[in-house]
């Protein structure tokens, strides 16, 4: 069953004694969080993404006096047609200005198509992973905020290839996200002189990975790369630990891992795992300050990179509305590209012509139980890849907006 929830971000958002803004109809902005509230991705997006959007709205309230900022949400299964139907209803109604999150690649591509020509609605993709969103499928009304399959794969691949880990084997989820992740990682591996010695594809929500892991083990690859996410990734890491792959000399690389995955697995099973992320709550004073504000709303839980990306993207959108004094999609998108993105979660970044947001990306390794000093103290920093080098070059994506 589809559920829709609506909130006013805070009483301070509706400031009665402010100037009217002629280009903001009804002096109201609506942020719609399309997310997973009841499925496998609920913990890494879900209510946390809604809380992040509300936090951004509250922090931006003083920038837009006289304007009510409303945050609504809808639950969605991992189905492109459902996401498209919800997004189309929001766009047709004309009241939704931002669709945010969407933690499934096929669904994200569907939403991207819906907003492509919308006059007053843009899509801030924080949960969507496929790099096609800023490649062949790029849209003038879409901003891809947090990560993509190119960035996470190349950050991990470059680091391990630099450690002479040249041969790779993939266990890949057989859907849009997994296939894009393997494709982008393979390109980087081959470009840098490595090789992919094999690959197997698993159906989504697979319970038993034993045959896949045995095939990977027998390949003798130096790196076994998991192009999976969510429940499938957790099962893969858990079962690879039970098989002892992490103790037999083969490196394990989880190309997309969330802090909630590591929490679910525990450090005993996940220690030593390599992963890439643009956000970690304990990176610096600013990330810790943002995470404390978020945790106060979420029972002490720290934000995932998707939830941090919702906060960062919505905040930048609202700053851009102030800059352009408009919610017309072309005007706001122009402002989003011209204004530097700056916030406590991601630091400084920028929005490119293809809609890709570029910011620093980090390679982490999961700590051992002995190294951890608390329940959320899970990562140690290996290296930081500067924003200019982390994402696919603008000229190589095939985005029709780039001439």
State pLDDT tens for residues 295-326. 999 999 999 999 999 999 999 999 999 999 99
Residue 397 has pLDDT above 70, yes or no: yes
**Per-residue confidence at 5, pLDDT binned at 50, 70, 90?**
very low
Query: Which domains are seen in the chain, by residue range?
Result: 4-147+283-359 (3.40.50.2300), 150-281+361-390 (3.40.50.2300)
Q: What is the mean pLDDT of the chain?
A: 92
Higher pLDDT, 74 or 16: 74
Beta bridge partner(s), residue 252: 224
Q: How far does the chain reach from its first CA to its final CA, in angstroms?
A: 44
Q: How distant, in Å, are the alpha carbons of 94, 215, 335 from that of 90?
A: 7, 46, 23
Residue 30 has pLDDT above 70, yes or no: yes
Q: Identify the H or E element spanning 265.
A: helix 259-265
**Percent above pLDDT 70 for the chain:** 94
Instruction: Give me the pLDDT at residue 22, please.
Output: 52
**Percent above pLDDT 90 for the chain:** 81
The burial of 288, by beta-carbon neighbours within 10 Å (0-12 exposed, 13-18 middle, 19 or more buried), is given as middle
226: which 2 tokens? Answer: 């998991």
Residue 11 has pLDDT above 50, yes or no: no
Residue 166: count other Cβ atoms within 10 Å of its Cβ.
16
In this predicted model, what pLDDT tens digit does every residue of 255-294 receive, in sequence order?
899 999 999 999 999 999 999 999 999 999 999 999 999 9
Higher pLDDT, 15 or 211: 211
Dmax over Cα atoms in the chain, in whole Å? Answer: 70
240: which 2 tokens? Answer: 């690879």
Residues 256, 181: contact at Cβ < 8 Å?
yes
Residues 202, 174: contact at Cβ < 8 Å?
yes
**Distance, CA of 23 to chain centre:** 31
Residues 284, 256: contact at Cβ < 8 Å?
no
Residues 97, 122: contact at Cβ < 8 Å?
yes
Q: What does the alpha-carbon distance between residue 316 and residue 310 come to, in Å, rounded to a whole number?
A: 10
């Amino acid at each position: 069953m589809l559920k829709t929830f609506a909130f006013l971000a805070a009483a301070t958002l509706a400031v009665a004694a402010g100037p009217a803004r002629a280009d903001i109809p009804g002096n109201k902005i609506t942020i719609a969080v399309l997310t997973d509230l009841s499925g496998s991705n609920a913990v890494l997006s879900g209510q946390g993404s809604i809380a992040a959007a509300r936090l951004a709205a509250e922090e931006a309230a003083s920038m837009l006096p006289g304007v009510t900022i409303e945050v609504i949400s809808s639950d969605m299964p991992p189905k492109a047609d459902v996401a498209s139907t919800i997004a189309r209803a929001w766009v047709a109604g004309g009241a939704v200005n931002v669709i945010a999150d969407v933690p499934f690649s096929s669904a994200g591509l569907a939403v991207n198509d819906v907003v492509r020509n919308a006059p007053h609605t843009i899509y801030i993709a924080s949960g969507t992973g496929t790099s096609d969103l800023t490649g062949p499928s790029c849209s003038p009304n879409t901003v891809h905020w947090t990560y993509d399959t190119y960035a996470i794969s190349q950050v991990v691949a470059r680091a391990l290839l630099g450690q002479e880990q040249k041969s790779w084997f993939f266990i890949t989820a057989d859907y849009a996200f997994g296939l894009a992740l393997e494709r982008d990682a393979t390109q980087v591996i081959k470009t840098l002189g490595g090789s992919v010695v094999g690959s197997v594809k698993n159906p989504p929500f697979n319970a038993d990975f034993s045959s896949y892991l045995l095939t990977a083990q027998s390949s003798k690859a130096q790196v076994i790369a998991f192009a999976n996410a969510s429940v499938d990734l957790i099962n893969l890491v858990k079962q690879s630990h039970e098989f002892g792959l992490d103790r037999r000399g083969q490196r394990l690389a989880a190309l997309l891992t969330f802090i909630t995955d590591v929490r679910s697995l525990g450090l005993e099973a996940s220690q030593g795992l390599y992963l890439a992320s643009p956000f970690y709550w304990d990176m610096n004073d600013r990330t810790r300050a943002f995470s404390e504000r978020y945790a106060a709303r979420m029972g002490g839980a720290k934000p995932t990179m998707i939830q941090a990306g919702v906060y960062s993207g919505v905040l930048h959108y609202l700053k851009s509305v102030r800059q352009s004094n408009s919610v017309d999609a072309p005007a706001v998108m122009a402002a989003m590209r011209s204004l530097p993105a700056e916030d406590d979660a991601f630091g400084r970044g920028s929005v490119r012509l293809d809609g890709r947001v570029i910011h620093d990306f980090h390679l982490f390794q999961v700590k051992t139980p002995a190294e951890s000093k608390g329940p959320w103290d899970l990562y140690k920093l290996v290296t930081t890849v500067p924003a200019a080098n982390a994402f696919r070059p603008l000229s190589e994506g095939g985005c029709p907006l780039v001439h």
